[in-house]
Structure 1
Amino acid sequence: MAIKLCCFSKDPLEDVASWSESIERLLSCKAGQQAFQEFLRSEYSEENILFWQACEDYKKIKNTPEMISAANRIYSEFVQVEAPRQINIDCGTRANITKNISEPNLESFDKAQKLIYSLMARDCYPRFLKSDIYQSILQKADSS
């Protein structure tokens, strides 16, 4: 697995080691996101980080037509029932997004994104830190 270790302007060793400080630290780094995504793929839950990333990109959109298009893409890929990468959110949150998808705004996916972030932080992230994927990246960084 070729993951570049160049998140911050520091030594790659510090970058990789810092991922264990918090999920925020891990996700603030492109290489950290890639490693975490690889781990989630191995656990068949890659949709979580893909949804989180899609929401992060969505919040940066400045024009309405692009926002509507992106909202519909996120909805059809992750939110709607039977979506190809359906995320695990409660039916109330899903129903609320469904009800408002015809008139999306920049906060349309905030609650769902917070739920998925919390799930990743509580459940997936601790397992990631113990995973062979993270441990091997850490070893590579240690030996460089």
Structure 2
Amino acid sequence: MSVKPTPEEAMLWSESMDKLLSRGAGLSAFTNFLRKEFSEENIEFWLACENYKKIKTPAKLAPEAKKIYSQFIKVEAPKEINIDFTTRELINKSIREPSPSSFDVAQKLIYSLMAKDCYPRFLRSRCYLELVNKTDSSQSK
């Protein structure tokens, strides 16, 4: 299991979703929260896109693009993300000749969805509030 963040570290996560996602413990806590809410496909897709963009070899882009498409994009995919028809079709065309930006539009949509919906709920969640409120008990000893 991952190391518990300090309350100060957890407080930083409330400044922005970028700060939350850029820290290992924050990403882990957010992913666990989404798993409990049955919406972990969003963060899993976002992370898959982040890794996909790091691929430097064109020969490796195609198989990874197909994998992401079949896992998250196609209708009835095992972890289908909630995107509109137009975005789905754009990706469908784009991955015929994949580029590092093939999933950018969908990734931005999912990021926006998480930022507007999941992130505020995470900040109000018991698991987050317990991490932040450890300050009181640790300083009183």
**Fold similarity call, TM over 0.5:** yes
Cross-structure match for 1:9: none
Aligned length: 138
Gaps of 5+ in 1: 7-11
Cross-structure match for 2:19: 25
Matched, 1:136 2:127: no
Q: Aligned-pair distance for 1:59?
A: 0.7
Cross-structure match for 2:38: 44
Alpha-carbon distance in structure 2 between the residues aligned to 1:95 and 1:27: 28
Q: Aligned-pair distance for 1:76?
A: 0.6
Matched, 1:93 2:93: no
Q: One-letter code of the match for 2:95?
A: I
After superposition, what is the alpha-carbon deviation per residue over 1:110-131, rounded to whole angstroms, capped at 9, x for unaligned?
Answer: 0000000000000110000010
Gaps of 5+ in 2: none
Alpha-carbon distance in structure 2 between the residues aligned to 1:140 and 1:77: 38
Rg larger in 1 or in 2?
Answer: 2
* Superposed CA RMSD: 1.5
Alpha-carbon distance in structure 1 between the residues aligned to 2:94 and 2:54: 19
Alpha-carbon distance in structure 1 between the residues aligned to 2:80 and 2:50: 17
Alpha-carbon distance in structure 1 between the residues aligned to 2:19 and 2:93: 34
Change (3 A) 1:106 1:132: same
Cross-structure match for 1:113: 107
Cross-structure match for 2:3: 4
Alpha-carbon distance in structure 2 between the residues aligned to 1:79 and 1:66: 19
After superposition, what is the alpha-carbon deviation per residue over 1:47-98, rounded to whole angstroms, capped at 9, x for unaligned?
Answer: 0000000011111111012111111111110001100000001110001111
Q: Greater share of helix residues, 1 or 2?
A: 2
Task: Provide TM-score, normalisation by structure 2.
Answer: 0.91
Q: Aligned-pair distance for 1:134?
A: 0.8
Give yes or no for contact 1:78–1:85 (8 Å, CA) kept in 2. Answer: yes
Alpha-carbon distance in structure 2 between the residues aligned to 1:15 and 1:142: 15
Q: One-letter code of the match for 1:41?
A: R
Cross-structure match for 1:65: 59
Task: Provide TM-score, normalisation by structure 1.
Answer: 0.89
Q: One-letter code of the match for 1:16?
A: A
Give yes or no for contact 2:7–2:133 (8 Å, CA) kept in 1. Answer: no
Alpha-carbon distance in structure 2 between the residues aligned to 1:52 and 1:30: 15
